[in-house]
Amino acid sequence: MADLDYEGFWKETLIQLRNDLGEEEFSGWFSDMKYLRAGNNSIVVGIPSAFHRDKVKSRYQNVINSKLKELSGQEITIELEIVGKSAKKPSPAAQSTAKSDDSSAAATEKAPKVKEKRGKHPNMRDDYTFDRYVIGENNGFAANAAIAISKNPGKAYNPFLIYGGVGLGKTHLMQAIGNSTHENSENKVIYTTSENFLNEYVQAIQDGKMNLFKNKFRYADVLLIDDIQFFQDKERIQEELFHTFNALLDSKKQLVFTCDRPVTELKKFSERIISRFGLGLIVDLQPPKYEERCAILKAAAEARKADIPNEVIDLVSKNISSNVRDLISALNTVIAYTELMGKPITLEIAQQRLKNIFNAPRQANLSMDNIIRVAAEYFGLTPNDLKGKKRSQNIVFARQLAMYIGREMTDYSTTEIGQDFGGKDHTTVMHSIEKIKGKLLTDPTLESTIESLKRSIKEFSAKY
């Protein structure tokens, strides 16, 4: 068969691989490969490095050979030849003079090669880096562990699980690991949300392409999966995650996950997976304290090249203690207004533009964790008493009151509140709220107790 026919098969194979693997994975492994020539029932393809060659052989050679057989009707093997990124298909003239160029080629091989810096990762935010991550008491341990992982993935702290509430920087820290590893090594880094992981799994089943799905995730060097709480109650995807987990762990590849709660509080989640998290490192992120909130706002202002008076930084830091996301959002609101109106940022403008945000339910209280801690201390109990299953009268009343206050002071749903109370059902929360409402009609002292608790919660949240 003519050489031109073989090249046609190769081009069609690349088209099919691009469709099967997606642009990110295809570009990472196939964009620098060049068709060189045909051999005896084989195709010789140029590839830039030995590392690249070995990875393609182990991950994709069987898939490539299979596609070539489908297209040609015969066995055609792929041979990978290291030629460097600038390699092109040699012309007949170039082939005839190849021997005379041996000495110059050898000289070129001895010349030092400048390592090319990899481009941005297509699925991660380029501003989610360690340089842009403000490290404080609430996240210092997690950040230092993440930096260590990025320098030596798969060697220590594997798997690595980061958990915490909304907007505390879990995704930022995870993607900082990915961006650093992607930029400073040739490792294959995959970042995905749990929802996208599930969607790709379902699509692979429908298309009969489970092998490609498995190859994509089980041959990653660093796999980052965001928000694994999404896998609750989904047995089949948990089974697939378990096998992917094992394959990567056995190969000493790095696994990083985020979750919005401790894994022990995940409902209907595989015990096999939960036990494997214990093999590595689990860290939690807490809401930033006042000093850390100030530092975060100053860093964000510097990144925006905005001149923010210290009194504005102080105002926002004292009034927003929920999470990093809300802090940055408030700052951006002030900056955007002053830029559009052509005015300097002042304390008066900040107070006016942010008054509704400061009075929002979520900002008035911080988190369910703070409410539980303050309520437990008020009644001489522990947070675990309120989260647990004990049914003694004093604990049940304190638990019901804390649930009621949580619903009053936050915009959390009854389902979310139930999860913070040790995985209670939303109907339990609703029942507790109704019980307290009923007692308010008959006990005139209860309202003052509730108001006292609310003040304590606000004071506690402002400190921490």
Average pLDDT over residues 22-46: 81
Residue 212 or 261, more confident? 212
Same domain, 295 and 336: yes
Same domain, 329 and 432: no
Residue 176 in this model has a pLDDT that exceeds 60? yes
Q: Quick one: pLDDT at residue 100?
A: 43
CA distance linking residue 411 with residue 259, whole number of Å: 20
Q: In what order do the strands lie in the sheet with 34-39?
A: 34-39, 42-47, 77-82
Supply the mean pLDDT for the chain. 83
Same domain, 9 and 38: yes
User: Which of 101-110, 212-221, 248-257 is least confident?
Assistant: 101-110
pLDDT in tens, 245-291: 999 999 999 999 999 888 877 878 989 999 989 889 999 888 788 88
Q: Among 74, 90, 106, where does a domain finish?
A: 90
Same domain, 279 and 324: no
Q: Is residue 199 part of a domain?
A: yes
Give the CATH number of the domain where residue 262 resides: 3.40.50.300
Same domain, 144 and 244: yes
CA distance linking residue 69 with residue 9, whole number of Å: 9
Per-residue pLDDT band at 429 (split at 50, 70, 90): very high
Which H or E run includes 78? strand 77-82
Residue 23 in this model has a pLDDT that exceeds 80? no
Residue 323 in this model has a pLDDT that exceeds 90? no
Same domain, 331 and 417: no
Residue 113 in this model has a pLDDT that exceeds 60? no
Domain with 421 in it: 368-463
Q: Is residue 324 part of a domain?
A: yes
pLDDT in tens, 343-394: 999 999 999 888 887 766 555 445 788 899 999 999 999 999 999 988 899 9
Average pLDDT over residues 289-311: 89
Q: Is residue 100 part of a domain?
A: no
φ, ψ for residue 407 (rounded to 5)? -70, -35
Residue 270 or 19, more confident? 270
Per-residue pLDDT band at 58 (split at 50, 70, 90): confident
User: Which of 36-50, 86-100, 152-166, 428-442 is least confident?
Assistant: 86-100
Do the Cβ atoms of 200 and 194 come closer than 8 Å?
A: no
Same domain, 58 and 179: no
- Looking at the DSSP bridge assignments, the partners of residue 223 are 190, 255
Q: Quick one: pLDDT at residue 104?
A: 43
Q: Would you tell me how many other CB atoms lie within 10 Å of the CB of residue 173? A: 26
Residue 106 in this model has a pLDDT that exceeds 50? no
Residue 213 token pair: 């799905």
Q: Among 90, 118, 149, where does a domain finish?
A: 90
Same domain, 239 and 154: yes
Q: Quick one: pLDDT at residue 366?
A: 59
Which H or E run includes 377? helix 368-378
Q: Quick one: pLDDT at residue 88?
A: 42
Q: Beta-strand (E) ranges in 114-220?
A: 160-164, 189-193
Q: Quick one: pLDDT at residue 94?
A: 39
Residue 89 token pair: 């298909």
CA distance linking residue 187 with residue 405, whole number of Å: 49
Give the CATH number of the domain where residue 52 resides: 3.30.300.180
| Cis ω for the linkage preceding 383 (within 30 of 0) | no
